[in-house]
Amino acid sequence: MRRLLKFLHTMGAIGMMGAMAALLVTLSFTPEPTSLPEYASIRAAMGGIAERLFLPSMAVVLVSGLVSMAVTPAFHNSGWVWMKLATGIITFEGSLLAVQGPMQREAALSARALAGEIDVGALASSMQAEWGSLWVLLFVAAVNVVLGVWRPKFSRAKKAETARSVG
């Protein structure tokens, strides 16, 4: 069970970080909204990446990490695991608020603009925020990987032992 969870967690992290990198690359090739057909096409692709790769990968990472924490007694007092949980929550919330929602919203808006339902001026208002959010989330995800590989030795049990031996 432990190896399966580790495999799922690793594969989910690869998918999630790969999706973030793909979104950054696609965002860099996004034309101005004045080139509406191209803009709508790129934004539809970004919405698809966010919905079909990013979100499922994030769910696999989150669920496998939480289950792993619950079923592995050694993780209960490991400080690095609790740090991963904290950064995982930041990643999860930030992903939904700053990536998933805006990507899908912009894809829908660009489709509506292409259909002539809304003005082109309503597009690309969140591009700068998307750039920043993706870079921050990619950094936090990388910190999570570092914590999982490096596994620094700070734990509540050791701090309590040290406090007792000093006092």
What DSSP letter does each residue of 63-130 carry, written as one string? HHHHHHHHH-GGGTT-HHHHHHHHHHHHHHHHHIIIIIHHHHHHHHHHHHHHTTSS-GGGSSTTHHHH
Cβ 63 vs Cβ 9: under 8 Å: no
| C-alpha count within 13 angstroms, C-beta hemisphere, residue 97 | 10
pTM: predicted TM-score of the whole model, two decimal places: 0.85
Question: Can you tell me the mean pLDDT for 119-138?
Answer: 89
Mean predicted lDDT score pLDDT of the chain:
89
Q: What is the pLDDT of residues 86-101, one digit of tens each?
A: 999 999 998 998 888 8
| 132-146 tens-digit pLDDT | 999 999 999 999 999
Give Cα separations from 109 to 47, 51, 96, 124, 135 (angstroms): 11, 16, 18, 10, 24
In whole angstroms, give the CA distance from residue 147 to residue 124. Answer: 35
Q: Residues 92-117: what's their mean pLDDT?
A: 90
Q: 156 vs 15, which has greater pLDDT?
A: 15
Per-residue tokens: 29: 């090739």
Look at residues 134, 124, 129 and name the one whose alpha carbon lies nearest to residue 18.
Answer: 134
